[in-house]
């Protein structure tokens, strides 16, 4: 079955996943900029882009389910803060792997929060995909317990945020949902940045701008995906980020991969495709 023909939500999530992979590269290239500062820059860019779109199209920026939108912004901010922290302080593949726990948190939370149903076979595909991710990453002794917990916390908060995004599918425009991230994050990160400001170099600014643009694209299309399809279906596509990490490592950083990593690559693809096809049937 053609995945693109099966669901708009799947197509949207494919775009989102690719955009977020480019965002991760940008963060990895800026290890000297504190995490709150990066999120502040990213939030300001998102605020400008979101407001411009909403005002141009005559859509109220405040939205309807304001409590739910605020909660989406808060938990999204917590998730991204911890994710950026792990990206800057541990190998990229490790940080991304921990973030891949978010579909599992999303699915479990959606059962209670959104009353969504998970087929038993989907759990098999989740496990298959995650085993593939573990094979690609391998064992890394450089991961300390605090950053390990930060990565798990990021995935859990992301799972909560995804459910609030899904809940807003009948109440608010996707860009309004995205707007609430910078509305919550900017005041918090402005205070944090005040105490740890690092002036970006001339060459940092293009990467920072791209960071904001890629994140905005990823957020908008992720929101569209979650509003168009069941949360447990589309969030499983995040596992495709392992494929991007594999390719980036080979072409950008000269990394090579053994047979075990290639087997992991195949398991990820099989798990994602299997979950999308069986979960939507």
For residue 4, name the pLDDT band (cuts at 50, 70, 90).
Answer: very low
**Separation of alpha carbons 222 and 16, rounded Å:** 5
Q: What percent of the chain has pLDDT over 70?
A: 92
Is residue 268 assigned to a domain?
no
Report yes or no on 2 lying in a domain. no
- Residue 220 phi/psi, 5° resolution? -65, -45
184 in a domain, yes or no?
yes
Which helix (H) or strand (E) segment holds residue 124: the answer is: helix 120-137
**Of the candidates 106, 98, 77, 32, the residue with the CA atom closest to the CA atom of residue 190:** 77
Instruction: Provide the domain limits for residue 32.
Output: 8-119+143-241
Q: Tell me: the pLDDT tens digits for 30-79?
A: 989 999 999 999 999 999 999 999 999 999 999 999 999 999 999 999 99
Residue pLDDT, tens place only, 184-221: 999 999 999 999 999 999 999 999 999 999 999 998 89
Contact 184, 55 (CB under 8 A): no
Q: What's the mean per-residue pLDDT of the chain?
A: 85
Alpha-carbon span 99 to 83, nearest angstrom = 7
Which pLDDT value is given to residue 102?
Answer: 80
In a domain, 210, yes or no: yes
In a domain, 236, yes or no: yes
Question: How many structural domains compose the chain?
Answer: 1
d(CA 62, CA 279): 34
Name the residue among 15, 253, 16, 233 with its Cα closest to residue 129. 233
Inform me whether the pLDDT recorded for 239 exceeds 60: yes
Half-sphere exposure of 142 (CA within 13 A, CB side): 12
Q: How far apart are CA 76 and CA 79, in angstroms?
A: 5
Nearest residue to 12 (alpha-carbon basis) of 173, 262, 228: 228
Listed in sequence order, the residues at least 6 apart from 86 whose beta carbon sits closer than 8 Å to its beta carbon are 94, 95, 98, 99, 147, 150, 151, 154
In this predicted structure, what is the pLDDT of residue 91? 76
Query: Is 252 within a domain?
Result: no
pLDDT at position 108 is 80
Please say whether the beta carbons of 144 and 34 come within 8 A: no
How many Cα atoms sit within 13 Å of 66 on the Cβ side?
Answer: 5
- Residue 215 located in a structural domain: yes
Nearest to 36 by CA among 212, 207, 195, 216: 195
Looking at per-residue pLDDT, the higher value among 161 and 273 belongs to 161
- Is there a domain that residue 126 lies in? no
How does 121-144 read in b/e, with b if 16+ C-beta sit within 10 Å? ebeebbebbbebbebbbeeeeebe
**218, 111 Cβ separation under 8 angstroms:** no
| Interacting residues of 242 by C-beta distance below 8 A, sequence separation 6+ | 93, 96, 97, 100, 132, 133, 136, 264, 265, 268
Dihedral-angle region of residue 58 (phi above 0 means left; psi in -120 to 50 means alpha; beta otherwise): left
Count CA atoms closer than 13 A to 217's CA, side-chain side: 15
Give, rounded to a whole angstrom, the gap between the first and last alpha carbons of the chain: 11
């Amino acid at each position: 079955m053609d995945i693109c023909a099966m669901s708009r939500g799947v197509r949207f999530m494919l775009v989102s996943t690719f955009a977020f992979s480019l965002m991760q590269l940008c963060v990895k290239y800026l290890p000297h900029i504190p995490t709150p500062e990066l999120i502040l820059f990213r939030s300001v860019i998102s605020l400008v882009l979101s407001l411009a779109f909403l005002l141009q199209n005559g859509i109220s920026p405040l939205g309807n389910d304001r409590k739910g939108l605020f909660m989406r912004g808060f938990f999204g901010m917590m998730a991204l803060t911890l994710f950026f922290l792990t990206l800057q302080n541990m190998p990229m593949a490790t940080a991304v792997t921990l973030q891949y726990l978010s579909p599992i948190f999303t699915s479990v939370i959606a059962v209670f929060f959104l009353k969504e149903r998970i087929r038993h076979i989907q759990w098999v595909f989740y496990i298959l995909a995650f085993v593939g991710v573990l094979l690609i990453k391998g064992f890394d002794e450089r991961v300390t317990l605090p950053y390990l917990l930060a990565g798990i916390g990021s995935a859990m908060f992301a799972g909560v945020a995804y459910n609030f995004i899904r809940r807003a599918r009948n109440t608010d425009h996707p860009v309004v949902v995205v707007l609430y991230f910078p509305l919550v994050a900017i005041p918090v990160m402005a205070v944090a940045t005040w105490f740890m400001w690092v002036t970006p170099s001339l060459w940092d600014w293009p990467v920072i701008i791209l960071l904001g643009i890629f994140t905005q694209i990823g957020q908008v299309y992720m929101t569209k995906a979650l509003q168009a399809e069941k949360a447990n279906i589309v969030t499983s596509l995040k596992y495709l980020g392992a494929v991007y990490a594999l390719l980036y490592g080979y072409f950008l950083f000269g990394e090579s991969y053994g047979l075990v990593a290639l087997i992991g690559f195949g398991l990820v693809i099989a798990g994602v495709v299997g979950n999308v096809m069986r979960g939507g049937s």
